[in-house]
Chain A
Amino acid sequence: MRTILRLNMSDLSITSDAVPEKWSRYGGRALTDAIVFTEVPPAADPVGPDNKLVFAPGLLGGTSAPNGGRLSVGAKSPLTGGIKESNSGGQAAHALAKLGIGALVIEGMPADKDAWYVLKLHADGSAEIIRDDSLGGLGNYATKDALDAGMGDVKRFATITIGPAGEMLMKQAAIAVSDPDGYPNRFAGRGGLGAVMGSKRVKAIVVVDEGLGYLEHADKDAFNAAVKKFANALKEHAVTGQALPTYGTNVLANIINESGGYPTRNFSNGRFELVDEISGEKMREITLERGGNVKHGCHTGCVIQCSRYYVDKDGHYKTKGSEYESVWSLGADCGIGDMDAVAELDRACGDIGIDTIETGVTIGVYMDSGKLAFGDADGALKLLDEVRKGTELGHIIGDGAEATGLAFGVAHIPVVKHQGLPAYDPRPIQGIGVTYATSTQGADHTAGYTITANVLSVGGTVDPLKPEGQAALSQGLQIATAMLDSLGFCIFVAFAVLDIPAAFEAIYEMAAAHTGEKWDTDALMQLGKEALTMERLYNESAGFTAADDRLPQFFYDVPLAPHDVMFTVTDEDLDSVHGFVAETAAGMGISKP
């Protein structure tokens, strides 16, 4: 039986109830959505007492399902003003699931606005809320060190922490999750959920799973058979079996640059002339020279192993190393073509606790204002120091790209629903523009990763330069992604799932064997549709309309080199993406939250 564990910060009480039967098929994203949809008023202040912060492992969290240990973090977003599911790797999801927790909900707000709290969930199922003001002001790394020092003989636990940005309620504050080696370097980065945690005065959550094994299954033999089938597919596919483990996600830098869709200097060009200095190939070369780790999983049970550590010139750990999106945002989008400089910025973002994508986009916008030259890495690092200190400028940067662009009079502010665009320009890669425009999450590449068929020839091909077929491609991927997020899978499994039918079968076979319920293709797709439906209806009640499902105007009327193209997908096509919502809502018996 899975439970919903509630920590009420208003009266510091702890309660636990079974996950309601109506949500028995929900985990991860679908479960955070259901709780936010049902319990958080759409008009709630995101950093007020009525918002709730929900942590949920996927339905297959706590099992040996390959790459099944992702964590969904949900709330009303301080950045977008809509519903948010921010997804992280790290060890916390499995640990929560092994404790029998389907969702951890932090609600209310303490009367004492100077207090900082640590929530401890123990392996015996008990939980406590401990006041520890000494953690206030610490970065994520120092916070993690302080938590470690207080754990005595307990060796196996996961941490969830915020840095100074979350404490200061900045709108792009992130939540850090510890990785298998204990580094607080995996992030629920997008949408400012670190500010929600900060508003509840929760500095850290410690989840102890020492001595706890994987969960039991309804049908153990069938589960193990499906696990084997799934793992084989992930190893067999050239992307998940070879490219990702060898080069990490930043293997994308060269191919997206080649396609002309690598946003450079605040989305003013589709190619970066210094890409060779920050590519996945270059990162691997540097890391190997310095004796760094070039291949590991971000959570136990990962068989793809795309994570790595970037080390400094003396071979010491600097940061996780680094993801494609982070290298792009802090590199190309700011005109910075130096891997060590990018890693320094990545480390600062991680310690301060801000989203690397939003931060890079924000600095790019700031540079576009003329206040700082493109390519000035030292200046960029100083800006992050302003954020850490919470100066007036630091608060503007900490509130993200839109706040910065408005404050400094920038014409081209690349955001949708107030959230910065990721590392693919939607003019030469039109499918991703559909996802950016229509996603319930604001501009988010992971929500419907059309780069697969648009550029990478995974799951078929759709010409990236033409508007035809993009809406259908994005819609299918948005539904599939919401499903994977709800089961707890890393979305990179999709590369294999889209090409290998056995991998897709293995997903519903694992779900059925674990839960004892009937799962098939239709049930998986229904799960994705239901999650998106709750998100969509919530956003409508929070005030979003079709006008919010559009890209910023400059993508429609400023051509991008080298292909000199603009975004040409019609409004009608964009509005078709959520065509399934009304019918799904009727089937679920829900209307507005």
Chain B
Amino acid sequence: MLVEVALFAHLTPYLPEAGAGGTTGSPHARTIDLPDGTTVGQVIARLELPDEPRIVFVGGRHAADDHVLAAGERLAIFPPVAGG
């Protein structure tokens, strides 16, 4: 199944080269082909993201590492960020 994965701030360099731009042409997004039933945690392991707190969204809502992704969903992962 095809899933859009987006990484931000200092996680951006962990994006794979293939699938550039995702569905929106964003430099932060990639379209990735994953086996059915893949979880958020499995994507994090596959991308070899650093072991640190993360803020994870699926479809713009907070999601846990055990969330099972569905075809066409967008997974976005941020390191700890804040501002205002």
Contacts and interface: CB of A to CB of B under 8 A. Distances in A.
B45 interface: no
Given A254-B8, A254-B28, A276-B28, A249 B83 contact: yes
Assign chain A's interface to a size class. 35 or more
Contacts of A461: 62
Contacts of B78: 254-255, 258
A281 interface: yes
Interface string B42-69: 0000000000110101001110000000
B83 A252 contact: yes
Contacts of A563: 60-61
A243 B81 CA distance: 5
A83 B27 CA distance: 45
A555 interface: no
Nearest to A275: B26
Given A254-B8, A276-B26, A238 B60 contact: no
A29 B51 CA distance: 40
A452 B84 CA distance: 10
A457 B8 contact: no
Contact of B82 (A243, A259, A273): A243
A573 to B, nearest CB: 22
Interface in A421-458: 423, 445-446, 449, 451-452, 455-458
B80 A243 contact: yes
A465 B12 CA distance: 27
A551 to B, nearest CB: 19
Interface string B1-35: 00000101110100000000000101110000000
Interface residues of B, number: 24
B44 to A, nearest CB: 15
Contacts, number: 95
Contact of A446 (B26, B55, B84): B84
B81 A255 contact: yes
A252 B82 contact: yes
Interface string A216-240: 0000000000000000000001110
Interface in A310-339: 323-325
Contacts of B52: 238
Contacts of A445: 84
B83 A251 contact: yes
A78 interface: no
Contacts of A244: 82-83
A362 to B, nearest CB: 20
B7 to A, nearest CB: 10
B83 A457 contact: no
A247 B9 contact: yes
A95 to B, nearest CB: 26
Nearest to A261: B60
A251 B81 contact: yes
Given A276-B28, A281-B8, A250 B83 contact: yes
13 contacts: A239-B82, A243-B9, A247-B9, A251-B9, A252-B82, A252-B84, A255-B8, A258-B76, A452-B82, A458-B80, A491-B84, A492-B83, A563-B60
Identify the 3 closest CB pairs spanning chains A and B, nearest first. A249-B83, A238-B80, A252-B83
